[in-house]
A = this chain, B = another copy of it.
């Protein structure tokens, strides 16, 4: 099955709007076993829309999903363009217009003349209902391709996809693609690939994709045989072991919060160079108040002494960015907040503050529990924001492996 998406909108091409519609449509189609082959974004211009449609049509797709340009204002030209392209006439849908008038009245919104364009329907082709907005969609058939046209407003587009399009596509998927995800962190892409080279070079009949980001590397497996994808997934998981933290698109903080709630354990955090990011990430997760009592951001040396009681001569002696201070921070924040675990990070985020011995990117992370304190040294790069993210990810990963 071949599926394409055409997004129509100058605002996307100007970089004012991120094309999250294409992401959402693609994800929903992937979920039901479909596969989007290509996405195009074009201007609100007749010849651009037609040229894009013609290009997509070359591949004989089963479906072309078009979004955008169905509003009531002059710059919305999708309807007229499609009617011309499919050579259908305009008809005025009086019944729908009356319905719109009464809907607008109920919402206390003035209906204007230009809204009338939204009651225009094609002489041939199907009208797709829009239960939450005024712009309805269309479906045209041509030489085996179904063309769906939907409004660009994400909420309306999603409702109409769910209501009118996804069920139809699902019914026609004969060879669904099966997918599995392995989320990893702390190990670079090339090392991961090396670890599993024997398996990946064997005859597994699946596609393997590596998706590195600042949070780690996602590995995606896909194939037409559920058994083969499953078998490959298990073989890789056996090798990766706890390098992998999830098998679906959830964050490491969600994994941790769930795990801690299950174990009825609590944490507290002392952050220096991460400046609040670790706690921000944890508190983005629902129910995090059950496991996070709180924490301190001890950015200055004095605050490390004042709020955590770290001896100022230890800081003078070993430096604020040191194994010893990191260890003291995690064990002291744990006992101050009376939690089961204490997490601490101290490092040089940059751009300033580096020395030859401790260059920008040097970070110590420590995890304390009742029984022990474990400190690790990391060397990240030169970029401040990236260092914060990488340090927070490494700290969360150390915590995950400790609980």
Contact = CB atoms under 8 A, between A and B. Distances in A.
Interface residues of A, number: 115
A48 B23 CA distance: 19
A230 interface: no
A303 B388 CA distance: 25
Contacts of A13: 26, 35-39
A162 interface: no
Contact of A277 (B25, B280, B287): B280
Contacts of A213: 153
A15 B28 contact: yes
Contact of A16 (B10, B114, B220): B220
A220 B274 CA distance: 33
A383 B132 contact: yes
B190 A284 contact: no
A55 to B, nearest CB: 5
A379 interface: yes
Contacts of A298: 294
Given A44-B209, A280-B280, A294-B297, 16 more contacts: A11-B220, A13-B35, A15-B22, A15-B36, A17-B211, A71-B212, A72-B193, A75-B208, A75-B209, A107-B379, A112-B190, A275-B282, A276-B279, A283-B388, A286-B351, A295-B296
Interface of A: 10-20, 22-30, 35-44, 48, 52, 55, 71-75, 106-115, 132, 153, 155, 179, 188-191, 193-194, 200, 207-214, 218, 220, 249, 269, 271, 273-280, 282-284, 286-289, 292-300, 302-303, 306-307, 336-338, 349, 351-353, 379, 381-386, 388
7 contacts: A13-B26, A16-B27, A38-B42, A40-B40, A271-B276, A292-B297, A296-B296
